[in-house]
Structure 1
Amino acid sequence: MHSILFKPSLVPSPLLSRLCLPPLPVIFVSDLLRRTMASSARSFQLRLNPLTGDSEWVVIDEEEEEDLVQHEQSKSLLATTSYLDMLNDGCRNRAFRLAIEKTITGPCHVLDIGAGTGLLSMMAARAMGGQGEVSACESYLPMGKLMRRVLRANGMDKNVRVFHKRSDELRVGVELNSRADVLVSEILDSELLGEGLIPTLQQAHDMLLVDNPKLVPFRVTTYGQLVESDFLWKMSDLCNNEVSISDGVHLVPAGLEGILGIKPQQHAMHCDALLEEIRLLSEPFKVFEFDFWKRPDSHGEVVMRIPATVDGKVHAVVSWWVLQLDYEGSILYSTSPSWINSFNAEKPSSCISGQRDWYDHWRQCVWFIPRGGISVCKDEHVLLQAFHDDTSVSYSLKVDGQTNFNPYKAEDFNLMLLPERIATYGNKEWRMAVLTAVKSALHGRSSPLCVVADDSLFLTILTASLSKNSLVTSVFPGLQEKGALYVQTVADANGFSMDCVRFVCKRASHLLKDNINQRKIDLLLGEPFYYGSEGMLPWHNLRFWKERTSLDPILADDVFIMPGKGILKVCAMSLPDLWRSRRSLKYIEDFDHTIVNETLGACGDLPSLQEGPCLPYFIWQCGEAKELSEIYSVMEFNFYDPIQACSEGKKIVFSKHGVCHGFVLWIDWVIDEKNSAFISTGPVSRYWKQGVKLLSKPVTVTAVDDFAEIEASFDPSSGELTVRSSFLKL
């Protein structure tokens, strides 16, 4: 079972930025926001089964703090977050500690909103020498329980009062003895505003803080830069990219450019990984400044003229922020990419935060320019209009001489997918491989029944257009009615009639109820791709195998299944940046955090039998990475057979010297009947996340002389893969 956790501050906002998971579909998240209500005694968590897509709410009660089952549930949840990554960021921790010690000069009342493990609360209590008062607000109960354990371990449980509530549920004279003199908080995501920073500060200034309070951090400034990048272009402009692909499938037909696109938002990404593929078209520019010490506005707008430094095409705006933690501006923290040599022109020489190491909890953000970008010439000015509301920042661009800004809004697109999915659908090699396999499977079948068992728009349109006499049934368990409407809209442009296409918009097993007019399924197809599950662990797409098994009674004897099998692949790798970001904690600014290691899934200096979780990452964005072995096939999943438990072992011989930090795993999908064509989701492709199993301790290995043994077990009831490893000498 996989879980999505919610840690509200002012509003019940999901901390997607602190999860190693993708965002849920927009409509689903909105529904969760309305339904999630944290109280002082209980918290809700949503648990998802990756093999079925089913979800359920699990209630965690504060009174059951020592319950073993609840402890295990909380541990599995928190281990998939980036709390550990954030706590390992020594630059961040030191900056907050120095700013708190500089700001709090005597006994006072300090409020910590979104307290996490209580690190900032303990810093504040120590700064007051055990006097004053610290109130810590942490609405997500599992984290609140962990914070209490950390406070006890540091002898600070008497110095910090913990409230398992949202900050807007705190009342002066009830929970709080008085309004707070100082607010310390860290509720920032990569975009800055996504964790509810603005409404949280508004309510705090209105109801919880004294007039003219002190705040840490004190101010934050957002910056941007215009860039050109073919890679980023392919992630956002399927319309123009598809023009060069002559396979007869038109996902974005002429005249219907708004039918399919990416969500108009800032997308978090490690842009340093694209350093060799980005051309900078402007100098960095300041966009917004938010002063925490005063009540922020819910809406803001700025228009600026940005001179182009070279000729090129603006494909995206790369953005980041600089945090000023103290009043004087001597303590700064930046999320800028590595090509920015300084935080800003006014950066003081005494700034303590140099270029930070790789960490995943804060990244840069990319705002994609629609419709292929905007051409600019050197010294030509780009007019940039930036907006912000309570939770996001957006941009519109135009070049001097144009009459209108180039707006980019959610209503521009009938259907929105993630950038990686847009890039996949625009990949010529991927499309040709799938087309060849499906065309071969259709050969010799006069009027086949084809079922697309997942959310693949491409397979639905491809099959319907290749075989005019076929009946295509698309399940669309995630896309549902939106997917059906999309296919109906592009049918004419792709040359097929909707009389030959039907939609289920539920799980594939619902096909058993009407048995599709007593017909057997001739082609069962999938990419596999499940809308809303993008970015999860690779083997979670074995949901296709589960769906195939449910349809077993109505599969034809000569059924063609695509993919016909999945092959679990593994490669030993050196991943020093990723391993460091998830290593076990000891003392953070002199506060003992060893108690959180097991719960947060740490690696390093742990008992040998303790195993960390497999987590999904884009390896190409994980900082330094080096392959230490060849790629090995560990296990095969045969989709022509019903789903079943699998267990295999593999000997991994190291081909390079180095330090092994873990194993990277993914699935290659075999898509043709001859087992000769496959789609890889490994690191060579940057559009899928891989699974990473980090070692408890790094191992220095020598080529040829050293080897590892990998054991992998797949559980068909939960959809989880257990991976264990051992190292030996030849």
Structure 2
Amino acid sequence: MAFLTPNCRLISSARLLSASPSAPRLRFAHAQAMSSCSTQRVFQLKLDPLTGNSEWVVIEEDAGETAPESLHKGLLARTSYLDMLNDAPRNKAFREAIDKAITRPCRVLDIGAGTGLLSMMAARTMGLMDSPTCHGNNGSVTACESYLPMVKLMRKILRANDMAKSITVLNKRSDEVRVGVDIDSRADVLVSEILDSELLGEGLVPTLQHAHDMLLVENPVTVPYKAIVYGQLVESTYLWKLHDLYNNEAEISDGIHLVPAGLERIIGVKLQQHPMHCDAIKREIKLLSEPFRIFEFNFGKRPESHGETAVHVKATGSGQVNAVISWWMLQLDEEGSIHYSTAPKWITSSGAGNWCDHWKQCVWFIPGKGVPLAKDEEISLRAVHGDTSISYQLEPHQPISTGQDHNVKGGDFCLPLSPERIAIYGDAEWRHSVLNAIKTVLQRRAPSLCIIADDSVFLALLVARLSIASHIMALFPGLQDKGIHYLKAVADANGFSMDRVEFVRKKTANWTVHDTHKKTVDLLIAEPFYYGSDGMLPWQNLRFWNERTALDSLLSKDASIMPCKGLLKVCAMSLPDLWNSRRSLEKIEGFDHSMVNATLGACGDAADGGPCLPFFVWQCGEVKELSQIVTVMEFDFSRAISPCQGKAKVKFSEKGICHGLVLWIDWVMDAEYSTVVSTGPDQRYWKQGVKLLPTPVAAGFHGSTDAGEASCLIVETSFDPSNGELVIKHIPS
């Protein structure tokens, strides 16, 4: 849904707003309008996680670059720009390559300019500064950036570095730029960094195609010069569990068949590369091959939209190929002396390398249990790239992806879930806990009407199978028709009839007794899990509580609510890699970036240490718990949603440097607390919220605290149901 004024058109940004800071800069949609007075507007989509409602927030160009930092902080503090700008090896490599490539005044184009760092490097190399002495230099630099909030930030940075008049800023996508209109002539040099973890996901191929066709001279100089994609075959039980629900479920004897025999592909991960910090699972990986080259992309040449290659890989050991792990290496100069790599640490002889979150390795899952491979056996890997992705096939064992989503029709239907959700549904301990909780409730009372408030197909199957007298209404707010289509496909295998299951599209806020067929609701349950919410903070799953509140008048007096409580947990941790990736900026390769720290939510400069962000904490580089786990606040789902406050003393139990607080929710399924489902850091399939401290605290513990050390942190939290925000305050003590 989008509201577009006349003369507006929907476009996508070259610099991408992240829904999840642990992912690269993800794509988003915004609208840009040009009025008669040339005022630009961007409509940024804003989602309310508690209601599922969305609205378009207007960002206007004439709000002024001197507007308060708070104007754009909410938009930019949750992106990966800060992490990227703190990547010193990346910055140094680009600076050295640009200094080497530009040997005379020339015309430079920077596509996806971000803060303008590469543009300023190019301008400095040519001696272009906001100074009268620079007049007569025929060099020029044009910075092309389509995301308006970042353009505003870039202009502030250019002014602070005396380059506002030396660099032309275009608030456009590069494929909207016209020679003779936006730029005087074709550019001699292209500098750009529009790369994601997969390399191609930010539109590298179509961007280079248009640039070579319309914006660059023949045989231009480019920085980077080229990129090479590498891969390696691996065996890993952990990676196998992230995608093969059928074979994992076969080992669980609970009678629930999420993936019945004959429907092995009814649930699966999307055939794509999945970004992951593979160093975090190094000990759970068996390498089955040496690294091998897959594709090479020369930035100085027009790339093709489609490419294929076959790589013959010799096994270095015996095992089961569960995945292809891939990464890329940039050669930034033509001679090949300046490089940058996203390879895992086991590839480098020293194992050294700085942790960063904006680029990870990628994992391509081999379907099923994988492909058996004997030492010295040779296997053929077929790789295909399109405009924005790369896919693989171990011939002849695996169908290759077309890059299209699965169609919802007949036997071809597949419910695509995230790898972590696949692993949760195949986890015997998790299933046992939830199954026991449901059985306990059903033994007390057979519900006449049960509502599945979230997107859990597992809960829908459980209740439908275990309570033959219940009518089930599934909200499936994210799955929508896909959820019901799935239930129809597996109903027979799970022993229930679909005439007892109903999908309701109507918003719960508008329900009446007629919507529940004049029945009261006896059982309202959720995991809670919301389809497509992988980048959400833990408390944003409290949409379940909001739905329960909307249905309050329709609940029976003794209705069972599951979960009945949520416990907000907190632990103080040492997180040096994560903290350093989001630390405040000063000079980057000689260019002052300090004025953007508050806007980007930096640590060490912002008063509150920046926003609370979702991460898989176990993938955040070096991590150490420094305190016991404490409950700081409770959410009581037996009551209507309301503001909550909490306060706790988090005592340090280990010495070290505390960089932040890690928060999550433990879901209490029953009033007796017999079943509690934790989503903490030791449970690797859920993201936690991380609130970094503005300044790290030296942690001691009671009885051995030295001078300058703190024995605890006083943590205060407050939850506002009007916007779903959780405010977190902390004081060393």
Alpha-carbon distance in 2 for matches of 1:674, 1:206: 68
Matched, 1:542 2:542: yes
Alpha-carbon distance in 2 for matches of 1:193, 1:158: 33
Alpha-carbon distance in 1 for matches of 2:288, 2:525: 43
Alpha-carbon distance in 2 for matches of 1:261, 1:225: 23
Tell me which residue corresponds to 1:20.
21
Quick check: 320-329 or 705-714, which moved more? 705-714
Q: Paired residue for 2:194, among 187, 200, 203? A: 187
Alpha-carbon distance in 1 for matches of 2:24, 2:441: 35
Tell me which residue corresponds to 1:372.
369
Contact 1:12–1:37, Cα closer than 8 Å, also in 2: no
1:83-482 matched pairs, under 5 angstroms: 83-130=81-128, 131=137, 132-341=139-348, 355-398=352-395, 405-408=398-401, 410-411=405-406, 414-482=414-482
Quick check: 646-655 or 315-324, which moved more? 646-655
Alpha-carbon distance in 2 for matches of 1:87, 1:328: 26
Alpha-carbon distance in 1 for matches of 2:115, 2:169: 11
Tell me which residue corresponds to 1:3.
none
Summarize the Cα distance change of 1:11–1:290 in structure 2 as closer, same or farther, 3 Å threshold. farther
Secondary structure of 1:539's counterpart equals helix
Contact 1:647–1:711, Cα closer than 8 Å, also in 2: yes
Quick check: 56-65 or 571-580, which moved more? 56-65
| 1:343-372 residue CA offsets vs partner (Å, 9 max, x unmatched) | 9xxxxxxxxxx9430000000000011122
Summarize the Cα distance change of 1:18–1:300 in structure 2 as closer, same or farther, 3 Å threshold. farther
Contact 2:312–2:381, Cα closer than 8 Å, also in 1: yes
Letter in 2 for 1:15: L
| 1:423-444 residue CA offsets vs partner (Å, 9 max, x unmatched) | 0000011101000011111114
| 1:53-103 residue CA offsets vs partner (Å, 9 max, x unmatched) | 11112221211125857x534211100011000000000000000000000
| 1:566-587 residue CA offsets vs partner (Å, 9 max, x unmatched) | 0000000000000000000000
Alpha-carbon distance in 2 for matches of 1:572, 1:679: 21
Summarize the Cα distance change of 1:303–1:506 in structure 2 as closer, same or farther, 3 Å threshold. farther
| 1:22-74 residue CA offsets vs partner (Å, 9 max, x unmatched) | 7999xxx8xx75x75576822231111111111112221211125857x5342
Q: CA deviation at 1:137?
A: 0.4
Letter in 1 for 2:223: V
Tell me which residue corresponds to 2:647.
649
Letter in 2 for 1:407: I
Summarize the Cα distance change of 1:640–1:505 in structure 2 as closer, same or farther, 3 Å threshold. same
Q: CA deviation at 1:308?
A: 1.2
Q: CA deviation at 1:414?
A: 1.7
Alpha-carbon distance in 2 for matches of 1:14, 1:397: 34
Alpha-carbon distance in 2 for matches of 1:10, 1:170: 14
Tell me which residue corresponds to 1:44.
43
Q: CA deviation at 1:676?
A: 2.5
Contact 2:656–2:700, Cα closer than 8 Å, also in 1: yes
Alpha-carbon distance in 2 for matches of 1:639, 1:14: 40
Secondary structure of 2:435's counterpart equals helix
Tell me which residue corresponds to 2:725.
720
Alpha-carbon distance in 2 for matches of 1:11, 1:638: 41
What are structure 2's unaligned runs of at least 5 residues?
1-8, 129-136, 407-411, 706-710
Secondary structure of 1:437's counterpart equals helix
Alpha-carbon distance in 2 for matches of 1:470, 1:290: 58
Summarize the Cα distance change of 1:462–1:478 in structure 2 as closer, same or farther, 3 Å threshold. same
Secondary structure of 2:400's counterpart equals coil
Give TM-score, length-normalised by structure 2: 0.92
Secondary structure of 1:543's counterpart equals helix
Alpha-carbon distance in 2 for matches of 1:655, 1:663: 14
Q: CA deviation at 1:446?
A: 3.9
Secondary structure of 2:516's counterpart equals helix
Quick check: 375-384 or 321-330, which moved more? 375-384
| 1:606-630 residue CA offsets vs partner (Å, 9 max, x unmatched) | 26x4441000000010000000000
Tell me which residue corresponds to 1:57.
56
Tell me which residue corresponds to 1:565.
565
Summarize the Cα distance change of 1:68–1:52 in structure 2 as closer, same or farther, 3 Å threshold. farther
Secondary structure of 1:542's counterpart equals helix
Alpha-carbon distance in 1 for matches of 2:610, 2:386: 39
Contact 1:17–1:361, Cα closer than 8 Å, also in 2: no
| 1:111-166 residue CA offsets vs partner (Å, 9 max, x unmatched) | 00000000000000000011410000010000000000000000010110101000
Summarize the Cα distance change of 1:315–1:641 in structure 2 as closer, same or farther, 3 Å threshold. same
After TM superposition, the runs of 4+ consecutive aligned structure 1 residues lying more than 6 A away are 21-25
Contact 1:481–1:505, Cα closer than 8 Å, also in 2: no
Tell me which residue corresponds to 2:512.
512
Letter in 2 for 1:366: V
Give TM-score, length-normalised by structure 1: 0.93
Q: CA deviation at 1:707?
A: 1.3
Q: CA deviation at 1:535?
A: 2.9
Q: CA deviation at 1:16?
A: 6.3
| 1:446-495 residue CA offsets vs partner (Å, 9 max, x unmatched) | 45211000000000011000011111111000000011100011000000
Q: CA deviation at 1:219?
A: 0.1
Contact 1:573–1:660, Cα closer than 8 Å, also in 2: yes
Summarize the Cα distance change of 1:183–1:172 in structure 2 as closer, same or farther, 3 Å threshold. same
Secondary structure of 2:673's counterpart equals coil
Summarize the Cα distance change of 1:337–1:98 in structure 2 as closer, same or farther, 3 Å threshold. same
Summarize the Cα distance change of 1:634–1:250 in structure 2 as closer, same or farther, 3 Å threshold. same
Contact 1:23–1:532, Cα closer than 8 Å, also in 2: no
Secondary structure of 2:346's counterpart equals coil
CA RMSD of aligned residues (A): 2.1
Secondary structure of 2:645's counterpart equals strand
Contact 1:313–1:375, Cα closer than 8 Å, also in 2: yes
Contact 2:447–2:523, Cα closer than 8 Å, also in 1: no
Contact 2:24–2:197, Cα closer than 8 Å, also in 1: no
Secondary structure of 1:58's counterpart equals strand
Letter in 1 for 2:490: V
Tell me which residue corresponds to 2:708.
none
| 1:490-549 residue CA offsets vs partner (Å, 9 max, x unmatched) | 000000001111111454435437341111111100000011112311010111111110
Alpha-carbon distance in 2 for matches of 1:149, 1:324: 31
Secondary structure of 1:599's counterpart equals helix
Tell me which residue corresponds to 2:523.
523
Letter in 2 for 1:65: G
Letter in 2 for 1:379: D
Alpha-carbon distance in 2 for matches of 1:654, 1:593: 35
Alpha-carbon distance in 2 for matches of 1:11, 1:447: 48
Secondary structure of 2:662's counterpart equals strand
Alpha-carbon distance in 2 for matches of 1:170, 1:587: 31
Q: CA deviation at 1:269?
A: 0.2
Tell me which residue corresponds to 1:348.
none
Letter in 2 for 1:452: I
Secondary structure of 2:105's counterpart equals coil
Summarize the Cα distance change of 1:328–1:66 in structure 2 as closer, same or farther, 3 Å threshold. closer
Contact 1:576–1:625, Cα closer than 8 Å, also in 2: yes
Summarize the Cα distance change of 1:686–1:413 in structure 2 as closer, same or farther, 3 Å threshold. farther
Alpha-carbon distance in 2 for matches of 1:53, 1:581: 31
Letter in 1 for 2:193: E
| 1:201-257 residue CA offsets vs partner (Å, 9 max, x unmatched) | 000000000111100001000000000111110000001000011111101100011
Tell me which residue corresponds to 2:487.
487
